[in-house]
Structure 1
Amino acid sequence: MKAPVNSKVIRTNEGHLLELMDEDVQSVNAFKTRLKFSREKRDRSDDIDEVTASKHQKPNQTQSSGDVLTVSEDDFRQYHQAKSRVRDFYRDQHEKQTMAYNLQARVNFKTKTRARMTIWEALCKLSMLIDDSDPDTELSQIDHALQTAEAIRSDGKPRWMQLVGLIHDLGKILYFFDSEGQWDVVGDTFPMGCYFADEIIFREFFDGNPDTKHPIYSTKLGIYEKNCGLSSVMISWGHDEYMYYIAKSQSTLNEKALAMIRYHSFYPWHREGAYRYLMSDEDYEMLREVQEFNKYDLYSKSLKKYDIEELKPYYLELIDEFFPTKHVEF
């Protein structure tokens, strides 16, 4: 029996606040990712220079410092400004994302249907709720979704990945139906029921989370077994998990696509290298897929505006291909 639809919309005038916070979160992640790759490239360049020097050869000019991706002072300034803006958000998130809350959030998800509509209708509704609350916005949520999808499409990636680009942030609609605030919708994600890894941004704010004092949840493995696989791990509740559960139960998207949806905000894992002890062999393949998707997630946004009506038939067909039940339960 289907759950009754409770489509009451909350926070109708706060959508732009969620988007501003998410943009700050994304800008911090974009900077940290660029910085990580810059350091890795510089280290590789230094290693090559050391090898050539030891052989009394001139360093390869293609490996000069000019070829190394640099991060400017302006980048650092913008990073620190964004990080200061997300500080209070992460304090809130880290203190409130408890095992008890996450269990209840999943009960709520399974026992309630917030709305029943097509994927395209949901994209339009998300755009309306966010963009109508910000009269200064130049690009809609659909514009940003299409930017990601079109970047993936232009690179010749498979159709299922194009759809992931279109819908990966659609779970933000949770903010307007069934969330406690911004903290259980956006932000970096992490496993529940085990030690909060040191690689998590603002790790110190977990001191206010009761799970850090729990005799099991505070241990390295917590409720899990070593190399149990991330499919067996509870990830903190937010728009990723919400959309993952929807896509898993109501679409024909493959495991790679589902991993991109579920883990694209799991930065402690796919960028910082944490939680390897929970991974199965299959997770390493998924890690590569998520990292491949991440560059589109972080760097595809621009001021370019696509003709939505021109692209709409293509993406409606794409949606129908992977969501056989036209009306999806959110």
Structure 2
Amino acid sequence: MKMKVESVNLTDPSLLLRPEPVYDGKPVSAFRNFDDDENDPMKARVRKTYYDMHTNMSVDFVKAKMAKWLKFNHFKATMKEALIKLNDLVDESDPDIDLPNIVHAFQTAERIRDEHPDEDWFQLIGLIHDVGKVMAFYGEPQWCVVGDTFALGCKWGPSIVYGDDSFRDNPDTHNPKYNTKYGMYEPNCGLENLLMSWGHDEYLYRVLVHNKAKFPKKALHMIRYHSFYPWHAGGDYQHLLKEGDEEIKQAVLEFNKYDLYTKSAGIPDVEALWPYYESLIEKYIPGVLEW
């Protein structure tokens, strides 16, 4: 049975930033297509990943994951070593690409480098933005590592992929503390006070802060919210935002046009690019890090 997915019909703001009908040979309408297709194993894999995520990602679950991972005692590695681990990861939530994640990392970084040659911090953010997915190598299933993020503790955002049906077995769906418009929040509490679903965005943001990365604040916002599509693409959670959150959104949208539209068949020469990006790692997040 095929399922209608309302969220895929929403206009992605990154289309407004990069509105060409064809991008690198691929129509922009073909990106982030979550329609079910019983004959497409990639689409079936994506759907299962999101249903597992939306079933299990409750307030209590996220707090437990934060207690576990924010001790930063799981492993020690340089940023390059962590990135190299992505050679062995294919994101099970991504309908656009079926290549190791490190390929996408360099695709993103190089496109940013082409268009922002003087903002080396931005280029490095492009390279490392998904490195929080290393949690998948330390016992975490991909459904709590990859994919779009969303706010917990209030009514599910209407533009979350696969919609309310995917949350039917989530305990927070039936908890009056969390299933109303405001849930556990005050009106206009602000983006940074929302409890986000656990995944690579929040984890890497916390890793960078813990290890005293030298990025500007807007770079950390790009990392923390780049997968928060229900907010920056769907327009959800407006009643919880405060003054200043629009500035964060604009930074995230500037990043996301490179994250989304660089997913193509072009494979960068990773080995040739490493020396340049190693110099940026040394500048902004050097040494052995606690993960």
TM-score tier after normalising by the smaller chain length: 0.7 to 0.9
Aligned partner of 2:79 in structure 1 is: 119
The 3 A distance-change label for structure 1 pair 119 and 86 is same
Aligned partner of 2:94 in structure 1 is: none
Asked if structure 1 preserves the Cα contact closer than 8 Å seen for 2:72 and 2:290, the reply is no
Equivalent position SS for 2:236 = coil
Aligned partner of 2:93 in structure 1 is: none
Structure 1 residue 264 corresponds to structure 2 residue 226: yes
The 3 A distance-change label for structure 1 pair 226 and 112 is same
Aligned partner of 2:275 in structure 1 is: 313
User: Aligned ranges for residues 79-94 of structure 1 at < 5 Å?
Assistant: 79-81=35-37, 83-94=43-54
Asked if structure 2 preserves the Cα contact closer than 8 Å seen for 1:243 and 1:262, the reply is yes
Asked if structure 1 preserves the Cα contact closer than 8 Å seen for 2:12 and 2:233, the reply is no
TM-score by length of 2: 0.81
Distance in 2 separating the partners of 1:101 and 1:85: 23
User: Aligned ranges for residues 1-330 of structure 1 at < 5 Å?
Assistant: 32=8, 36=11, 69=21, 75=30, 79-81=35-37, 83-127=43-87, 129-130=88-89, 140-156=100-116, 158-179=119-140, 181-202=141-162, 203-250=164-211, 251-324=213-286, 326-330=287-291
- Root-mean-square deviation (CA, aligned residues, Å) is 3.0
The 3 A distance-change label for structure 1 pair 80 and 140 is closer
Deviations 1:138-173 (A, max 9, x none): 964333211110100100262221111100111111
Deviating runs (4+, > 6 A) in structure 1?
none
TM-score by length of 1: 0.72
Distance in 1 separating the partners of 2:69 and 2:169: 26
The 3 A distance-change label for structure 1 pair 271 and 83 is farther
Structure 1 residue 85 displacement after superposition: 4.2
Structure 1 residue 84 displacement after superposition: 4.7
Aligned-partner residue type, residue 173 of structure 1: V
Structure 1 residue 314 displacement after superposition: 1.3
Larger Rg: 1
Distance in 2 separating the partners of 1:88 and 1:138: 16
Equivalent position SS for 2:70 = helix
Structure 1 residue 75 displacement after superposition: 4.5
Structure 1 residue 240 displacement after superposition: 1.1
Aligned-partner residue type, residue 222 of structure 1: G
Name stretches of at least 5 consecutive residues in structure 2 with no aligned partner.
91-96
Equivalent position SS for 1:144 = helix
Structure 1 residue 290 displacement after superposition: 0.9
Distance in 2 separating the partners of 1:194 and 1:106: 19
The 3 A distance-change label for structure 1 pair 142 and 95 is closer
Asked if structure 1 preserves the Cα contact closer than 8 Å seen for 2:70 and 2:206, the reply is no
The 3 A distance-change label for structure 1 pair 195 and 262 is same
Deviations 1:83-124 (A, max 9, x none): 554322222111100111111101001235121111001111
Structure 1 residue 78 displacement after superposition: 8.4
Aligned partner of 1:14 in structure 2 is: none
Distance in 2 separating the partners of 1:37 and 1:240: 19
Distance in 1 separating the partners of 2:107 and 2:157: 33
Distance in 2 separating the partners of 1:276 and 1:308: 40
The 3 A distance-change label for structure 1 pair 95 and 68 is same
Structure 1 residue 176 displacement after superposition: 0.9
Distance in 1 separating the partners of 2:206 and 2:30: 36
Aligned-partner residue type, residue 273 of structure 1: G
Distance in 2 separating the partners of 1:122 and 1:130: 12
Name stretches of at least 5 consecutive residues in structure 1 with no aligned partner.
1-27, 42-66, 132-136
The 3 A distance-change label for structure 1 pair 32 and 215 is closer
Q: Normalized per residue, which structure has more helix?
A: 1
The 3 A distance-change label for structure 1 pair 69 and 303 is closer
Aligned-partner residue type, residue 36 of structure 1: T
Aligned-partner residue type, residue 98 of structure 1: S
Asked if structure 2 preserves the Cα contact closer than 8 Å seen for 1:139 and 1:303, the reply is no
